[in-house]
Amino acid sequence: MAGLRLHEKRVLMALRMLNGKASVDDVAEKGDLAHAAVMRAALTLSEKGLIRVHEKRWKVAILSQEGEYYAQYGLPERRLLRTLLRLGGEADVDEAAQEAGLDAKMAPIALGWLKRKNWGVIKGKKCALTVNMEPPPTIDEKLLATIFEKRLVKVEDLTEDLKQALEALRKRNLVEIEEKVYRELELTEEGWRIARKGVEIVEEVTQLTPELIVSGHWRNVRLTKFDVTAPGPVVYPGKVHPLQQIIQRAREIFLEMGFTEIRGPLVETAFWNFDALFQPQDHPAREMMDTFYLANPQTGRLPSKRLVEAVAKTHEDGWITGSKGWRYKWSGEEAKKLVLRTHTTAETVKYLATHKKPPIKVFSVDRVYRNEQVTYKHLAEFHQIEGIVVDKKVTLRDLMGTLKTFYTKFGIEKIEFWPSYFPYTEPSAQAVAYHPKLKRWIELCGMGMFRPEVLAPMGIKCPVLAWGGGLERLAMIELGLDDIRMLYANNVGWLRRTPLCR
């Protein structure tokens, strides 16, 4: 029959020789094929309607490690019996057990079975035999020996008595019952028709080699036909983590938009993280519950005295900014405290202290820390996307346009700007995006124009557009996740399912 491959033909012919029905193992032997090759051929043959595959499940008994041991050295009761026989038929229980090499755990078990098998009785601390010569193996011992010899026995082949003995051995944890799948192949009528006619078994060539071509031998061989529509094996190539891909994409987009990357340390002084951003020293965000403070070392160095004084004055009474300030006594000690930065805005404001000449367009994609309960939407360690634009005539509209462009490049279309509040911006807003899976708006970033209280101490004379937001939130939308923790869960299934390219 055309369309049959070599292994399929061999299986058909083997089945013919085996009277049309045989186990996979027998077919493998007759057809001189590997077990797996028979199974593969059986699958396609049954699809072609030439054979039927019957699947039978057997319960088989195999020995546990302990069972193996006893099969070789005897059950504990048998060993105790032999010892007692040697000691004259009666002995102190502990002594006999020790003599028989039974430990404290095994001794009572051996005694129990000695009694149950009517080999002996216990009188106080003494044990006396009721037999005066070694009894023949009991049914459970015989079964143990059989399983040991055959490696496994089919449960359904056992007699009722043996089944009971098996159950007793199983309860003693000496045997284990396992399920084995056994497959039998059977020729269908159509299969018989073809097998009876006999199929020509010609070696097939699966690979066309240079030798075959050069020698011209290819004319005489049969080339194996391939089903190019058959599903291939799934391969799981190594790939960049989805979150890392998104970080890379964020960088690319910023670069496309003409921004330059800046980076800073994970550990910052409270000065850069809070004070320089006009966050008062009693601001709730500064508390331990929200911010991780370093235990060792506890403090860092403050920048130039001029800058520190300007920030201090602005906090206290507004300095030259026209603001009234926060009206409290600013503390340098508080500002020196080291924190794990809670936002990358610490880096942008620090950048402004040393880069004052517009135009400036810088960004960062970096790690930040918050002392938060980890939930489906919060992490204690995450990434922020941050950026600033400094130029003579920029407005909030430019900021909205910039962000709209940024997030659209990311593939997020449904984005809105809602009013918000930050101590360091005025006006302030937040960009939100619609999460189709969570069916609600989620915050993408905070944004605004730095207040004069932030800019004056840094010596900046033109408007500064600033924004910062969570990268993982963006990843949730991108990857369709409803739980942010998945990004760090090392869930191999999810990592494999997430496509390399979207």
Instruction: Give the span between the Cα atoms of 446 and 388, in whole angstroms.
Output: 12
- Bridge partners of residue 435, in order along the sequence: 440
**Smallest separation, CB 407 to ligand PHE (Å):** 15
Q: Indicate if the alpha-carbon torsion angle 312, 313, 319, 323 is positive or negative.
A: positive
Q: If you search the block for the tokens 């001794």, which residue do you land on?
A: 107
**Smallest separation, CB 345 to ligand PHE (Å):** 4
Using CB atoms, what's the residue nearest to ligand PHE? 446
Instruction: Give the span between the Cα atoms of 401 and 263, in whole angstroms.
Output: 24
Q: If you search the block for the tokens 């005489």, which residue do you land on?
A: 220
**Smallest separation, CB 324 to ligand PHE (Å):** 22
**Smallest separation, CB 428 to ligand PHE (Å):** 6
Nearer to ligand PHE, 45 or 474 (CB): 474
Instruction: Give the span between the Cα atoms of 304 and 308, in whole angstroms.
Output: 6
**Smallest separation, CB 301 to ligand PHE (Å):** 23
Phi, psi angles (nearest 5°) of residue 230: -70, 140
**Smallest separation, CB 263 to ligand PHE (Å):** 16
**Smallest separation, CB 495 to ligand PHE (Å):** 28
Nearer to ligand PHE, 317 or 416 (CB): 416
- Considering only residues 430 to 459 of the shown chain, the ones binding ligand PHE according to CB under 6 A are 446-448
Contacting residue, 24, 425, 460, 476, with ligand PHE by CB under 6 A: 425
**Smallest separation, CB 393 to ligand PHE (Å):** 19
Per-residue binding letters, 312-351, with ligand PHE (x by CB under 6 A): -------------------------------x-x------
Q: Which two tokens stand for residue 198?
A: 């006999």
Q: Which residues lie below 8 Å from residue 218, measured CB to CB, with a gap of 6+?
A: 205, 208, 212
Q: How many residues bind ligand PHE (CB under 6 A)?
A: 10
Q: How many CB atoms lie within 10 A of CB 280?
A: 16
Question: HSE on the CB side for 276, CA within 13 Å?
Answer: 27
**Smallest separation, CB 467 to ligand PHE (Å):** 5
Q: What is the DSSP string of 301-319?
A: ----HHHHHHHHHHHHH-T
The reply to whether 463 sits near ligand PHE by the rule CB under 6 A is no
Confirm if 315 and 331 have CB atoms less than 8 A apart.
no
Instruction: Give the span between the Cα atoms of 250 and 248, in whole angstroms.
Output: 5
The reply to whether 422 sits near ligand PHE by the rule CB under 6 A is yes
Phi, psi angles (nearest 5°) of residue 250: -60, -45
Stretch that binds ligand PHE, among 462-470, 471-479, 481-489, 494-502 (CB under 6 A): 462-470
Per-residue binding letters, 263-302, with ligand PHE (x by CB under 6 A): ----------------------------------------
Nearer to ligand PHE, 410 or 422 (CB): 422
Nearer to ligand PHE, 31 or 446 (CB): 446
Region label for 163, one of left (φ > 0), alpha (ψ between -120 and 50) or beta (otherwise)? alpha
The reply to whether 254 sits near ligand PHE by the rule CB under 6 A is no
Confirm if 487 and 495 have CB atoms less than 8 A apart.
no
Contacting residue, 455, 466, 474, 481, with ligand PHE by CB under 6 A: 466
Altogether, the residues listed in the chain come to a count of 502
Q: Which residues bind ligand PHE (CB under 6 A)?
A: 343, 345, 422, 425, 446-448, 466-468
